[in-house]
Structures are given as C-alpha cells and as structure tokens.
Structure 1
Amino acid sequence: MAERLKSLGFKKAVSISPSTAKSDVKLESAVDGKIIQNSLGEFVLKETLYPMNHQHGVVTFHYDFHTETINRTAKITPESPSLERLLFIDTETSGLSGGTGTFAFLVGYGRFSSEGFLLTQLMIRDPGEEPAMLLHLINQINDKDIFVSFNGKSFDIPLLQNRLVLNRLPVKLREFQHIDMLHISRKLWKYSLESCSLKTIESAILKFNRNSEDVPGWMIPDIYFAFLRTGDPSGLKEVVYHNAQDILSLAALFIHVSKLLAGTLSPSCVPVDDLIAISRIYWDLGSYEVSQKILKSILPRTKTAEQRVMINASLGRFFKKMGHSNEAIQYWQEAAENGDAAACIELAMYYEHSIKDYSTALHWCEKGLQASKNGDKNPASSRFLISTQKRMTRLQFKRSNHV
C-alpha cells in the first residue's frame, strides 16, 4: 500500500515542499482528452464510445430490453421513455461527506445512442475551472432527461445542485426524474448479498472484476489534492478509469435489472431469491397476479426452509386478497409449520372470525408467539407481542363463554 500511495503522488508530511515543481505532463494528454473553452473558462473533456456489443461482465450492451417495469418501480413517467433520454451519471469529488465545501472535480455521464454507449467525462485542473465545467454539463442536458445513478439521489445530484447554486447557474437538477439503482438493488438483493455496494454487485451479479488500474474510492479526494499540489496527473488516470467503470457498471446493472423485471431472462438462470424479490416488487406495483405466478413457478425449485416459508406466506397473502380463504390457509399452514409468526396469526384470525374455532385460534397464537421468540425474520416487535397477547386474552374469554 505504501508503494501504491507513493506512485500516486503521496508523500510523508515532513517531505512535502511548498515549492514542489509542477509536472510537465498535462492532464488532457495523460487522460487522452482535450481542452474545452466556453464563456466561463476552460476544462478537460474525454469521450469514449463503447459499441453496442460491448461486454461488461455477463451483460452485453444492446437495445433489446424492456424498461417498463423498472420505470414503474422508480415511478418514471411515461413508463417507456426512449433509451436516449437516460443519463447515467457519477461524480468524483473533493470529499466523501458531501458537505458545503465539497465539489465535483470529475463528472462522468453516459448515454445510449444509435452508435453505442457514449461516455463523457468532464474534469477540472483546478477549482477555478468548475463554473466552465458545470456550464457545459447543463448545456448537455434538458428537463426531459432521466438521471440513472447509484446513490445519486442522496449524493451526486444534491452535490451538483449545490454547486450550481453557488456558481449562479439556475438549473434545478432535483426536479429531473431519477432512477437510483441503489434503491432498486436493495429491493432485489438486500437479503441475499452481504451488501448492496456497487463493488459487491459487480462481483456477485454482473460477474465483473476491475483490473489493476482501479483505485479505491476512499483514496480519490487525496489523489486529486496531490494532483493540485504537484501537477502530476498519473494518479488521476486511475481515477478516470474508476469513474468510467462505475458508469459502465451502472449501465450494465440497468440492463440486467430491466431484463430481470421484464421476465426476459430464462427463469432457470435466475436464482430463487431473486425471483422472490421480483415477486415482491410486482406486488408493490399492484400486479398481484404476476407476483403470484412467479411464486408458484419457483416453489418446486426452493432449496431452503426459509425460501419455502417466504413463498408460502406470500401466496397466502395473495389468495386472502383475492378472497379465496380456503386456498390461503393451505399456504399459511405450510409457512406456519415452518415457524412463520405472521402466518400463525393469519391462521388464528381465520379460525377466530371465519370458523369460530377459538381453541384452534389460540393454538396458532401460541405458535406465533413461540416463533417470534425464536428469532425468525417475522415481526417480533413488542407491538406484535402485545397485540398477540391481547388476541389470546380475547380468545380465552370467547372460548369460556362459547356454548
């Protein structure tokens, strides 16, 4: 690590000289970019065109995928905008916290076009070039564009909006429609992956591994300040690579998730946990029949008791909503027998209100309490415990007064 830091321009504090000589190598040359000038100054621009057969891990870039469901999930209107309207965006910044003094020294964005995926990266050689870079950025976008990011709703777009305000460039980026792939990734993989970081998703889902040119994100602010001090752009070459891979992974993830949600991938190639998560997404969208069909199709493929519990409990919920109680209790019974507390309470309610069998209802309440105490993933909160105990008290009263 010490050698890596040294190669990127870092020095021990005692060895730093205020008059460090500037490098003869220019940033625009080092990154194969060019200088752009506008009314507010200069900055560096780099463009890279990736053909539509570009391979990023297991994902091939092309136009043959449907985006309706992913757009519905992100509440995008209309639900089928042209791919050219999508702006895949990521920033590299002077700090990781996103505070008032933090600025983006590199803004990368990509678009699909008839020729392929065009990646554009805007860089500033010093903070004074920020206004020119931001002016160019806002001239390349319009209010019909849809941002696609990874945590951009919380970080990149608020940061850019703040810098636009400070530079008196009145464009309201927060009003643009936005698909944040972090939020959708959590819906899909929060139970099956150790984390939903882009790095984890790259490795586990996209099957993509970066090469030795990459640099850890936590090092990037210091690399930029080392460049400001020395003028040596060698470290920034790796930052430019890092940013490019972030955006390519973002586009690949968008394609992959679009196919997952559209059901165009072979079901046998999609893990059961992913299909369970997809069924939840369709349920949340109000597509109950689609959700139910997915769950029924994967029930024979389950490998764990936990998967069977989740599927049976969800199918019970579906048939209850459709008014088919007899079918619902079959699935709830399966889930309850495997320790699902919520399914136990559904059975208790059924036997209390529909069958008037208070003893059986009490039995399922007791099983529900036991399941919640065993630490399963169903609601074992104090509210759940209190409501179940109240239900049991009521059932005991009803049973003692039942003739």
Structure 2
Amino acid sequence: MAMKNKLKQLRKHIVREDVDKQEKKEETIIEPSSSDIPFVEKWLEFGAKPFFFQGEYIFIREITYPLSQHHGLYPFAHLNIVANVWSQVDVQHPLSLKQKQVSELFFFDTETTGLSGGTGTTIFLLGYAHILGDEVKVKQYFLPSPSAETALYYFFLRDINQFTTSIVYNGKSFDWPQVKTRHTLLRNELPPLPRLEHFDLLHPARRLWKHKLDSVKLTKVEEEVLEIKRQGDIPGYLAPMIYFDYVERKDPQGVFEVMKHNEHDILSLITLYIHLSNQLLQGASLSIKETYEVARWYDQLGEKKVALPLYEDVSIKEQEEHDKAKMALALQYKRGQQWEKAIEQWGVVYKVGREKIKREAAIELAKAYEHRYKQFDKALQYTKQAYQWWKEKNQLVKVYNEKEKVAFEKRIKRLENKKNNK
C-alpha cells in the first residue's frame, strides 16, 4: 500500500510539471501588435487584415460582389440556374450538381513560388470564392513570411470545412496536391484536411476547344470563349518574382497586383463552369466540333441516349466532323444490332469520306459483310480497296507499319479462301 500511495504522489507531480511546461510555452507566445507590421496601413487600405496564430500573422482579404454582376458572358446568378437544371436532368456527368447544393461549392486557385510541385514549392496565396446569400464572396490568404505557413493553413482549413466540392483549373493535379503536401508536414498543428470532390475545368476546356485555341490557358479561354477582357493584369509567371521581392523589401504594392490577378482567376472559374454547364445541358451556341466532342464525352460516360441525337445532329451537316460523327453513329447502331443502319452510315463515309476515316469505314464494311452476312465477295472488295488506300498514303509518306501490312494481306488471303470455297 505504501508503494501505491507513493506512486500516486509522484504521478501528481509529473502531471503538474507537464501543465506548468504547457502554460510556460503558451506564455512565451506573445502576439505582436499590428502596428509592428511593415506597411500595415497599405494592407488595411487594400482591404487585407492581419490575423495572428502562434505568434505569426498572415493577411486575409475579403471582397464581395452582387450576384447580378456580370463577369464575361454571364452574371454570377446564372450559377444557381445551371445548378437547378443539373438537379432536374437524369444524366451522369463528372460536372453534375445533381446531388449538390451551390453552397457546397468553392472556386479555388493558388499562387506559388514555382510550377514544379513537391516540398520545394511554396504556396504564398490561397484564394477561393463561394456563393453566400445574394453575393459572391472572395477570400484570400497571403503568406507574408515562410515562418507563417502554419498560420496560413490554419485559417484556410478552418474556413473551408463547410464545403464538399472544389472547382479548379488544373488544381486537381497541382494546387490541391500542394496543399496536401504542406498539410502532411504541418498536420500536428492544423485542422484535418477535408475530403473534397474536385471539378477540374482544364480537362473539359481542352476537350471542347483545343481545336480552335493555340493554348487552353485560362487567360486564353477567357478571351476567346468567355468574352472576358483583362485590363492591366500582370502575367502569372511574374508572381513568384514579385513575391520574392516582397519577402526582401516588405513593400506590398506588387503583391496587391498578384492578389487582383488571383481574384480575377477565381471569378473566371465561376463563369467557365456556368458556360460548360450550359453547353453540356442545353447545347448553347455549340459549334459542330463542340457538339461532336460533347457527344463523344457523353458516349464515353455511357450516356448513349444523350450522345445519339448529338451525333445525328453533327452527321447531317457538311462540316469537318461530319465523317467522325457518322462513324460514331454507325458504332452506336452496330452495338444495338441495327446492322442496316450501321452499313448505311459506313457506306456514306466510304464514298465521300476523308483519307484515313474512309479506310476505317471500308474495314468496318468488310467485317460486317464477312462475319454478319457471309458475303465474302463484298468483304474482299472493301478490304482490297482499304488496302489500296493504305498503300497510296504510305507511298506518299515513304514509311509504313509492317504489322498493318501483314494484317491486310492476311485478311485478303482469308477472304479469297472463303470466297473460293463457298
């Protein structure tokens, strides 16, 4: 008993000592006064306020816009409209809001010291926008010193725990992995990392517009597609240099321009998401090429009932994607065992198609007549014609694929044997 009592007494001393150490640690963290911050008046005038955490500070800036305000083609209020349409359509799509509320979304972008990623890259500005009542609210978190990184992520992660979905532009493969990397290094000091779904708008932009844009950078998409004109904007590649200059001199004037650039990027994500949704849901102002790409996207997602009328729309127009749409339409018919309709589409492409695609139509016709209808003479005719077109093309470029040559010769020999033995 005496030993047990003695251990109890020792335990009390150990616990008290730990408490004293913690209290002493907390006492040593003395938050500086805002007046000690270089150029603090400039920051406040810009609308950014210092926020302190563990003796370090960051700047947080908030800006609001009415939903009625236009940014390019649309007012921000159209986000609610497309969300409502998504909720009513019976279609599966990676950009769908069918099971989501607009209040769950945040439009997210960062500015970093480099584009290589990994632990050597520092995010010095985190920004996002979301709908709050009848306003769009933009919030930005700026890192004034590398030593304040914990404070940066503390305030950012604290504020985004209300959201379920981020809408980004290349952020799924760059921005958010950077946040995850920094959180891994600092996680003992930070709130947990939220589980988010990411809508990355770079991929649909590339799918729909790579044929007409020499680049799908956001600024290019803004100008050529969304009718957004930037005035006096700094190029994004200057942001790291401006930040390093700020860290050395502390004058924030250049940083303010970077923050305006980031704000503009974020607002453009709202407009871009509205526009992509309109094109996917309503076919708003789609070109023939865009209609074909939307149809192909739905087709790849297994939404055949949505893809089919879009393919049909393209196939009846004499445009660049005419042949591709007919081939895709024929494939739909083939899968549905509608062979006569499939052969009709392949036949049109075979007669008036362009280069490689009419060879593909000839091969499909040969397969159908060989395996479906057992008309080996027709199958042989289409195969020989496809082989002839293939040879003509390869004679021009003076190079050929040996495997393709062997495949053609093997098919021709097989069909000749079948024809002769019929």
In the TM superposition, what is the alpha-carbon distance from 1:303 to its structure 2 partner? 4.4
**Is 2:207 the partner of 1:171?**
no
Uncovered stretches (5+) of structure 2, i.e. residues with no partner = 1-36, 395-399
State the match for 2:292 in structure 1.
Answer: 276
The question of whether the paired residues in 2 share the 8 Å contact of 1:345 and 1:365 is answered with yes
Match of residue 235 from structure 2: 216
Aligned-partner residue type, residue 280 of structure 1: R
Pick closer, same or farther for the CA change 1:382–1:229 going to 2, 3 Å.
Answer: farther
> Which structure has the greater CA radius of gyration?
2
Deviations 1:311-348 (A, max 9, x none): 11111111111111101111112223313133222111
| 1:140 counterpart SS class | helix
Secondary structure of the residue aligned to 2:328 is: helix
Residue 39 of structure 1: CA displacement?
4.6
TM-score norm. by structure 2 comes to 0.80
Counterpart residue type for residue 198 of structure 2: H
- Which residue is 2:23 aligned to? none
Amino acid at match of 2:250: G
Q: Which residue number corresponds to residue 37 of structure 1?
A: 52
Change (3 A) 1:264 1:307: closer
Counterpart of 2:310, as a letter, is: I
Matched, 1:145 2:164: yes
For the residue of structure 1 that corresponds to 2:326, the secondary structure is: helix
Q: Does 2:137 match 1:118?
A: yes
Cα deviation code 1:93-121 (max 9, x no counterpart)? 01121131211110011112222221111
Structure 2 partner of 1:239? 258
1:332 aligns with 2:346: yes
Is 1:85–1:144's contact at 8 Å kept on the other side of the alignment?
A: yes
Secondary structure at the residue paired with 1:232? Answer: coil
- Out of 54, 61, 64, the position equivalent to 2:81 is 64
Aligned in 2, Cα 1:146/1:371: closer, same or farther, shift over 3 Å? farther
Q: Counterpart of 1:171 in 2: which secondary structure?
A: coil
Cα offsets for 1:267-302 (capped at 9, x unmatched): xx22111111111121122221221112223444x3
Which one of 353, 360, 380 corresponds to residue 362 of structure 1? Answer: 380
Q: How does 1:53-202 map to 2 (within 5 A)?
A: 53-62=68-77, 63-65=80-82, 66-67=85-86, 72-74=92-94, 79-142=98-161, 145-168=164-187, 169=190, 171-172=192-193, 175-202=195-222
| The one of 370, 374, 382 aligned to 1:352 | 370
Counterpart in the other structure of 2:311: 295
Alpha-carbon RMSD: 2.7
Q: Measure how far apart 1:356 and its partner are.
A: 1.9
CA contact (8 A) 1:332 1:343 kept: yes
Alignment partners' CA distance in 1, 2:168 and 2:103: 15
Provide Cα deviations, 1:14-46, integer angstroms capped at 9, x if missing partner.
xxxxxxxx9746562363211123456321111
| 1:227-250 per-position Cα deviation (integer Å, ceiling 9, x unaligned) | 111112121121111111111111
- Of 390, 396, 399, the residue aligned with 2:416 is 396
Residues 194-203 or 219-228, more deviating:
194-203
Change (3 A) 1:239 1:381: farther
Q: Which residue of 2 aligns with 1:6?
A: none
- Residue in 2 aligned with 1:13? none
The offset of 1:55, in angstroms, is: 1.1
Any idea what SS the aligned residue of 1:121 has?
strand
Residue identity in the other structure for 2:333 = F
8 Å contact kept, 2:154–2:191: no
The DSSP-based 3-state class of the residue aligned with 1:64 is helix
Decide whether the 8 Å contact of 2:110 with 2:125 is kept in 1: yes
The residue identity in structure 1 corresponding to 2:302 is G
Residue identity matched to 2:337: G
Residue 73 of structure 1 aligns to a residue in which SS?
coil
Aligned equivalent of 1:260 = 279
Match of 2:322 in 1: 308
1:276–1:190 CA distance, 2 compared to 1 (3 A): same
Any gaps of 5 or more consecutive residues in structure 1? Answer: 1-21
TM-score normalized by structure 1? Answer: 0.83
Query: Which amino acid is the alignment partner of residue 391 of structure 1?
Result: R
